[in-house]
Amino acid sequence: MTIRTILVPVRGDGKGEGVLDHALALARPFDAHINVVHCRARPEDLLPYSTVITESMRETILESARASAADEEARLQGIFMEYLETREIVLVEDPPVPEGRVSASWHEVQGRQSALVAIRGRLADVIAVAQPDADGGHQTLEAALLETGKLVLVCPDRAASTVGKHVCVGWNGSAESARAVSAAMPLLAEAEQVTVFSAPEGMEDKLSTADLTEHLGWHDIQAAVTTLNVGGAEVGNALLAETGRAGGDVLLIGGYGHSRRRELVMGGVTRHIIDHADIPVMMVH
């Protein structure tokens, strides 16, 4: 088991390079391939709603939208090529991946970013997305978590030199957290250090930290365990704080939530972590 492909959806929102930095940090230990996909908006989606316009006005708007989209694509692709050159990443459009090198490819797709992630993410090993903020980004995260079943790396707006060197695991013995551990086994096996954080409250009749460390031990993964003496409402904040104090460079948790009219409804711990994390967070639903 290993990580070979990382999907990075980008658009002209200024966050693409930061997500690429996190994807690259994750890719380096595995010589993985970073599949960068630019999601170009359909010109028809830019037409005004509830407004009657003439056919000539319609064509003028569409032509302007096409030209703007082409300029944006060229600009972003130029930034991407410069990014590869400065970081010595090899451009590869088709497999196999060059031995001992991180590679990347660029694809241009028309449509909504969330719809693209929901489909293409199903065949990625990891999907790297920007941390949502008040201005948006939740739809892409929702699609990655709810539609693909893959590991999702949520990338905050800050530099990342390593992702996976020291993995911190938020463990509560649930099926969701066990699923996250299983999906991230290649990352855990490659890590230099693994720390498990667990809050005993609410863990009755669930798998204990001893069960988890035994399971990891069968995979030759040694993990330290720290118990968080906090109540349920404080777990999210405690996980982030303790991960920071321990020097973890990624927090692995289960993605707790369900689809309600295609909106992600998360538990308090997951929501708090997504909203307040200043380190990359990896999860699976």
Q: Kindly report, residue by residue over 237-281, the tens digit of the pLDDT.
A: 999 999 999 999 999 998 865 444 444 444 578 888 998 999 999
Residues 174, 149 share a domain: no
> What is the count of structural domains for the chain?
2
Q: Kindly report, residue by residue over 117-144, the tens digit of the pLDDT.
A: 999 999 999 999 999 986 666 889 989 9
Residues 125, 196 share a domain: no
Higher-pLDDT residue of 12 and 10 is 10
What is the pTM (predicted TM-score) of this model?
0.88
Residues 150, 56 share a domain: yes
Q: Kindly report, residue by residue over 144-168, the tens digit of the pLDDT.
A: 999 999 999 999 998 889 999 999 9
> Three-state secondary structure along the chain?
CCCCEEEEEECCCCCHHHHHHHHHHHHHHHCCEEEEEEEECCHHHHCCCCCCCCHHHHHHHHHHHHHHHHHHHHHHHHHHHHHHHHCCCEECCCCCCCCCCCEEEEEEEECCHHHHHHHHHHHCCEEEEECCECCECHHHHHHHHHHHCCEEEEECCCCCCCCCCEEEEEECCCHHHHHHHHHCHHHHHHCCEEEEEECCCCCCCCCCHHHHHHHHHHCCCCCEEEECCCCHHHHHHHHHHHHHHHCCCEEEEECCEEEECCEEEECHHHHHHHHHCCCCEEEEC
Residue 161 inside a domain? The answer is no
Residues 141, 81 share a domain: yes
**Looking at the predicted structure, is the pLDDT value of residue 90 above 60?**
yes
pLDDT for the residue numbered 262: 41
Residues 137, 18 share a domain: yes
Q: Kindly report, residue by residue over 231-245, the tens digit of the pLDDT.
A: 766 888 999 999 999
Residue 87 inside a domain? The answer is yes
Domain ranges, residue 259 = 166-284
**124, 155, 186 - which closes a domain:** 155
